[in-house]
Structure 1
Amino acid sequence: MQAFSKPEIAPVSLTLADTHYENFPVASLLLPPHLRHAVSVIYQFAREADDIADEGDASESERLKDLQGYEDELLLIQAYIQPERPLFKTLQQVVRAHTLDIQSLLDLINAFKQDVVKTRYADFAELLDYCRRSANPVGRLMLQLYASDTAQNRHWSDQICTALQLINFYQDIAIDLQKHDQSGRIYLCLDEMQAAGITEQDLRNQRQDAAWQAFFLYNVARAEHMLLAGKPLGRHLPGRIGLELRMIVAGGERIIHKLKRCHGDIYHHRPTLNAFDWPVIFLKALFKQ
């Protein structure tokens, strides 16, 4: 088994969810107590793997080697063999207890590997394929934890998760340009940029004219359409999971509202949720809008 450059983390703590801004309220008070441990373990796995792909000064080959080590541990779990690292031993218990689909976890690792080597997306189909592996598995795992994993629910969940991923891309255009050894990641479609007359240098120059604003708002509107297409899931699911999902969707809607108001200037006005947004989000979720 390969050595890992990431330090081992044996205890799994709910406080890990507070270390990064996320669209998903991980292990929140709305989660039933019996699921908080499972969600936290899954989050820790995903967060560590994401950090391998994104954080620190490791080389491309080192990052891929470490991510392959995570994949190897998942394959041991899939083969009903006990993994070596403490986190994965705990993850194996969670997978068995809740009959989780290992493929969803493998898809996440595959997406993180892609982040190491791929920084441009030719068209929307390529971007959707990335979201299928980087975002949609999270929603599917949650459905499995809540014993609500049906074909219709998966369809709605995929729409929501992909939309939230796209929204995050539009929030982080400026941040992503600084990643990957300063060559930058761009999660906008190259064919659509070319058709709109937008270049990579325009992004670096923080172009904010009418053409950029129209292109930016087009992308935001497409993400909003997908979010609304998945919105019925929040009304369909009962109890806490329905309320939490409605809050997630309402949070995404608030970010979309702020993206529209910034008129494409996400370089100086990165939209985030603040204390004033949460009452609005809660009320929208409570009344199932």
Structure 2
Amino acid sequence: MNQVNDLQTNSRTITRQSGSNFYYAFLFLPKPKREALYAVYAFCRLSDDLVDDSQAGGDPAAALTRWRKALDTYFQDGVGPPVITTVGQAARRFHIPKVYFEELLNGMEMDLTRARYATFEELYPYCYRVASIVGLICIEIFGYTNPQTKIYAEQLGIAFQLTNILRDVGVDAQRGRIYLPQDELKRFGYSEEELLAGRYNRAFMELMQFQCARARDFFRAASAALSAEDERSLLAAEIMRAIYYRLLLRIEAQQYDVFHKNITIGKPRKLLLAGGLWLRSALRSRP
């Protein structure tokens, strides 16, 4: 039992210390679901860190291969590194398909082989793998009854990832990565060289306005796919939606200047959003 508690504490610590928006959504869940989601987040965080080790002179491809093998080993005989053990336990408890975790790693592996996307149609599979798949994993833990909830998870995941991409345009450029579609840079007259140099001008603002409008469309599509019978069980997802949508609004309010301004949502605001949605849900559920 102590070993299980240690593994859960490790995953919880990784989630809390990351400052992730997800941490605030998980606070209102029953402990078994909360611990399972901490494990999922820790797995995602550490998997992503393996890919980013390329910036420190490591061999991320080899590290990711070893991580895949560790995942396979756990699902075969129940043995693996601490984070994989906890996420594997969560997968078994909540009947999460192993293929979801494999697809997530496929998405992260794309960062080792691609640094540009010609069109949004090319970008979509990447967003699906690194974000929508996380949503599909999460709803298995949250619980749902309407199959349409999978559409909700997919669309919300795309909305989250697009918001992350917009917030991190400058950071990604420093790593040599450009996620904004190349054909859309060309359409708005904003060059790759300008983006890599962090050039903030009218063309960039118009490009970002277009990108934000697309993200809004995915937020709307997710809301439209949320069925009434699953609203209560998906409270944590709705808290994340509220936080990420507020982040998108903040990008717009700052005139899309993601190069020179640190665009975040403070902890008090996140807690206020989370608490408000929890209270509204509690009041609706009262007889």
Is TM more than 0.5 here? Answer: yes
Q: Which runs of 4+ in 1 moved over 4 A?
A: 56-60, 284-288
Structure 1 counterpart of 2:156: 160
Give the superposition deviation at 1:57.
4.7
Distance 1:211 1:108, change over 3 A: same
Structure 2 counterpart of 1:68: 65
Structure 1 counterpart of 2:216: 224
Structure 2 counterpart of 1:193: 185
Calculate the TM-score normalised by the size of structure 2.
0.85
Calculate the TM-score normalised by the size of structure 1.
0.85
Q: Give the distance between the partners of 1:213 and 1:244, measured in 2 at CA.
A: 32
Deviations 1:104-137 (A, max 9, x none): 1111111111112211111101111001110011
Residue 251 of structure 1 aligns to which amino acid in structure 2? I
2:7 aligned counterpart, secondary structure: coil
Structure 1 counterpart of 2:174: 178
- Structure with the higher helix share, 1 or 2: 2
Q: Give the distance between the partners of 2:228 and 2:202, measured in 1 at CA.
A: 38
Deviations 1:204-254 (A, max 9, x none): 333333222111110011001101210242855243x43322221111221
Asked whether the equivalents of residues 176 and 186 of structure 1 are also in contact (C-alpha less than 8 Å), the reply is yes
1:151 aligned counterpart, secondary structure: coil
Residue 246 (structure 2) pairs with residue 254 (structure 1): yes
Residue 52 of structure 2 aligns to which amino acid in structure 1? D
Distance 1:253 1:84, change over 3 A: closer
Residue 41 of structure 2 aligns to which amino acid in structure 1? Y
Structure 2 counterpart of 1:32: 30
Residue 254 of structure 2 aligns to which amino acid in structure 1? C
After TM superposition, the structure 1 = structure 2 runs for residues 89-238 of structure 1, keeping only pairs within 5 Å, are 89-148=85-144, 150-179=146-175, 184-232=176-224, 233=226, 236-238=229-231
Residue 13 (structure 2) pairs with residue 15 (structure 1): yes
Residue 18 of structure 1 aligns to which amino acid in structure 2? R
Q: Give the distance between the partners of 1:280 and 1:39, measured in 2 at CA.
A: 20
Give the superposition deviation at 1:145.
1.3
Asked whether the equivalents of residues 7 and 86 of structure 2 are also in contact (C-alpha less than 8 Å), the reply is no
Distance 1:234 1:214, change over 3 A: farther
Aligned residue pairs, count: 272
Q: Give the distance between the partners of 1:46 and 1:97, measured in 2 at CA.
A: 18
Asked whether the equivalents of residues 139 and 157 of structure 1 are also in contact (C-alpha less than 8 Å), the reply is yes
Residue 205 of structure 1 aligns to which amino acid in structure 2? A
Distance 1:235 1:254, change over 3 A: farther
Q: Give the distance between the partners of 1:118 and 1:128, measured in 2 at CA.
A: 13
Distance 1:173 1:64, change over 3 A: same
Q: Percent identity?
A: 26
Asked whether the equivalents of residues 25 and 237 of structure 2 are also in contact (C-alpha less than 8 Å), the reply is no
After superposition, the CA RMSD in angstroms is 2.4
Which of 235, 240, 244 lines up with 1:243 in the alignment? 235
Q: Give the distance between the partners of 2:280 and 2:85, measured in 1 at CA.
A: 41
Asked whether the equivalents of residues 100 and 144 of structure 1 are also in contact (C-alpha less than 8 Å), the reply is yes
Residue 71 of structure 1 aligns to which amino acid in structure 2? R
Q: Give the distance between the partners of 1:235 and 1:245, measured in 2 at CA.
A: 14
2:194 aligned counterpart, secondary structure: helix
Q: Give the distance between the partners of 1:147 and 1:28, measured in 2 at CA.
A: 14
Give the superposition deviation at 1:177.
1.2
Q: Give the distance between the partners of 2:70 and 2:136, measured in 1 at CA.
A: 21
Q: Give the distance between the partners of 2:45 and 2:161, measured in 1 at CA.
A: 15
